[in-house]
């Protein structure tokens, strides 16, 4: 197992390289932090994966077949497999950066949502760039190969990607992939969200979840479902309440709490309005059958 992990550390450079699992949609290849020496060069042509860098401070340059790009602290840059790129730290103010290398079938989609394309490999960072460094530091603190550490590092690597997407959104006012979904798709996601969280969700939270204006969300929900989001939420709550009344001996006040009503009297009133009888009467009628 030790042979599967390479871990290096010196005052200027730290790197962890992880076991690759090419069956995954998105996986971590390596991560690192480096205070580069003046003039240090690195090339990406033969390196595996997509290397997303966050420059914390200092300067450097990227040499591509199309020319030279100057990069400084507060910027992000990407190198991709199979594309010859040479990057070099400045001689007087060498850059200090962190990076994570990804691979898998979904990485291009994620990077596209962060604004990176074949023509765009450098971007200004529109969030606090040290947030990337904090994630990288957390990752290198857990280099040992264990299942818990693997999950922990994966979650951190996804946060790193999410920050890149957030930075791009802050610059462009875009929401990435979800803007490509149709309104009907978003309403379907809203329905699933309500079904999964009916006991605690509020309608404004559902509208926020699918990133739609509350008024527009309500209009489109009614068009697709033929009832308002609030009516649908009540319907789901009542259906679950009926199931609990029929299949368990839980007291009514506990069932009220389980389906999202803090006040049992409010629950009983709504229940009676919908079914014509109170929860206790409903249970008795069902138990007679």
What pLDDT, in 10s, does the model give residues 220-234? Answer: 999 999 999 999 999
Out of 108, 143, 176, pick the residue that ends a domain.
176
Domain count, the chain: 2
Widest distance between CA atoms in the chain: 87
94 & 117 share domain:
yes
24 and 164 within one domain? yes
Q: Residue 44 in contact with residue 78, Cβ under 8 Å?
A: no
Q: Based on the domain organization, do 138 and 194 belong to the same domain?
A: no
- Find, among 227, 217, 223, the residue nearest to 190 by Cα: 217
The answer to which of 36-45, 108-117, 153-162 has the lowest mean pLDDT is 36-45
Are 160 and 85 part of one and the same domain? Answer: yes
Mean pLDDT of the chain, nearest integer: 86
Range of the domain at 49: 2-176
* Co-location of 10 and 118 in the same domain: yes
Residue pointed to by tokens 């040992």? 144
Which whole-number Å values give the CA distances from 28 to 39, 62, 180, 183, in the listed order? 28, 24, 26, 33
Per-residue confidence band for 133, with pLDDT thresholds at 50, 70 and 90: very high
Note the pLDDT of residue 11: 52
19-46: pLDDT as tens digits: 555 557 888 888 899 999 999 988 765 5
Last residue of a domain, one of 176, 204, 228: 176
- Shared domain for 171 and 261, answered yes or no, is no
CATH of the domain at 49: 2.60.120.280
**Cβ-proximal residues to 225 (8 Å cutoff; 6+ apart), any chain:** 187, 191, 232
Q: Which residues of 179-216 are buried (b: 16+ CB within 10 A; e: fewer)?
A: eeeebeebbeebbeebeebbeebebeebbebbebeeee
Q: Which is nearest to 52 in space by CA: 29, 79, 73, 33? A: 79
């Amino acid at each position: 197992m030790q042979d599967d992990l390479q871990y290096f550390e010196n005052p200027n450079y730290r790197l962890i390289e992880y076991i690759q699992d090419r069956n995954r949609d998105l996986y971590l290849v390596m991560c690192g932090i480096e205070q580069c020496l003046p003039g240090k060069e690195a090339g990406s042509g033969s390196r595996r994966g997509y290397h997303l860098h966050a420059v914390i401070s200092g300067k450097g340059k990227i040499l591509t077949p199309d020319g030279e790009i100057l990069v400084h602290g507060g910027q992000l840059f990407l190198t991709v497999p199979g594309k010859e790129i040479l990057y070099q730290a400045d001689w007087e103010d060498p850059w200090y950066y962190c990076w994570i290398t990804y691979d898998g079938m979904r990485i291009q989609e994620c990077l596209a949502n962060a604004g990176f394309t074949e023509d765009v490999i450098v971007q200004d960072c529109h969030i606090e760039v040290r947030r990337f460094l904090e994630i990288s530091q957390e990752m290198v603190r857990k280099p040992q190969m264990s299942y818990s550490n693997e999950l922990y590092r994966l979650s951190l690597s996804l946060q790193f990607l999410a920050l890149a997407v957030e930075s791009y959104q802050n610059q462009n006012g875009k929401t990435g992939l979800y803007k490509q979904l149709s309104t009907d798709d978003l309403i379907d996601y809203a329905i699933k969200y309500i079904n999964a969280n009916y006991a605690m969700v509020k309608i404004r939270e559902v509208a926020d979840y699918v990133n739609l204006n509350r008024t527009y969300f309500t209009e489109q929900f009614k068009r697709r479902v033929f009832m308002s989001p609030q009516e649908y939420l009540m319907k789901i709550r009542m259906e679950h309440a009926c199931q609990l009344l029929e299949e368990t001996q839980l007291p009514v006040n506990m069932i009220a709490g389980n389906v999202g009503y803090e006040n049992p009297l409010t629950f009983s009133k709504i229940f009676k309005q919908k079914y014509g009888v109170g929860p206790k009467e409903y249970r008795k009628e069902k138990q007679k059958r």
